Structure 1
Amino acid sequence: MEAVSDSNWLMQYRILRLVNQCRRLIQSEFGEKLHLTDDALREILAQFAGRSRNQALQRVYAELRLALIDLEGQDELLSAPAAPTGQRRYRGQVIPDAPKAHTAEPVASGADTAVRTGVTLVYRGQVQRR
């Protein structure tokens, strides 16, 4: 039954037009060429639309999603897996925590400890301690 459903959603002209627009925008932004014969085309489109910073792709995918809901009814929301708590992200990618250096520092006065909080910052690839 699912295979029949998968082949029917591409038979609608409006939906096919939206899918082709998404494919063109994905090709221009990510360099990935998607084919209409891909088995998981809907999931791939959802993943790329979720990662995209292109407003046009997000708008076209939202239109596609609404058209699919009109055609087939409500479906489950496809989303990227959530990062476990404690992990930091940069542009959607999980970044590893910096290794904590255990160095013996001399005991400083109260004014010095207020300035040195032990925070490690990464700015343009350079590690800076504060």
Structure 2
Amino acid sequence: MTSLTRERSWLLDRNLLQLVYQCRRLIRSEFGVQLHLTEEHLEQHLADYAGRSSSQTLVDTWECLLAQVPELGIKTEEHSSKMYRGMEIIDDTPVAKVAGAGQEADLPRKKKNIYRGQVVG
């Protein structure tokens, strides 16, 4: 808890806190996500949303905050996932399902003939 307090001591400055509030408000209006000041990775979330934002105001506010607090200079990692219209595509098919599907496709399937709701032959 004390290490987190030391890392967040910059939030005690009124001007910096106003910039964070403005970033949070812009993120909430654009993405619909409510960020809290007590979140563990608040700086990373702010940087991610500022990087994905189409709002120049949010980008400028984040850059102003970075200029005043140099320890916030977090390296933004490029996402290796696919993007569609600015949103990340979530791949919900695990590798096991994909590998299992290949084994089932190798087996010959017997075709079911259905006539009026009854299985025939």
Fold similarity call, TM over 0.5: yes
Q: 1:79 aligns with which of 64, 69, 76?
A: 76
Q: 1:91 aligns with which of 59, 82, 85?
A: 85
Alignment of 1:64 onto 2:65: yes
Which amino acid is 1:8 matched to?
A: S
Inter-partner Cα distance in structure 2 for 1:91 and 1:2: 38
Which amino acid is 1:91 matched to?
A: R
Inter-partner Cα distance in structure 2 for 1:35 and 1:8: 16
Which amino acid is 2:78 matched to?
A: P
TM-score by length of 2: 0.61
- Identity across matched positions, percent: 38
Structure 1 residues 36, 89: closer, same or farther in 2, change over 3 A? closer
Shift of 1:89: 4.4
Q: Which runs of 5+ in 1 are unaligned?
A: 97-130
TM-superposition CA deviations, 1:38-80 (whole Å, max 9, x none):
11111110111011111100000110111111xx4xx654313
Residue 106 (structure 2) aligns with: none
Residue 121 (structure 1) aligns with: none
Residue 32 (structure 1) aligns with: 33
Contact 1:46 1:78 in 2 (8 A): no
- Count matched residues: 89
Contact 1:18 1:60 in 2 (8 A): yes
Query: Could you say which structure has the higher helix fraction?
Result: 2
Structure 1 residues 76, 63: closer, same or farther in 2, change over 3 A? closer
TM-superposition CA deviations, 1:24-45 (whole Å, max 9, x none):
0001001111111111111110
What is the RMSD computed on CA atoms of the aligned residues?
2.5
Larger Rg computed on CA atoms: 2
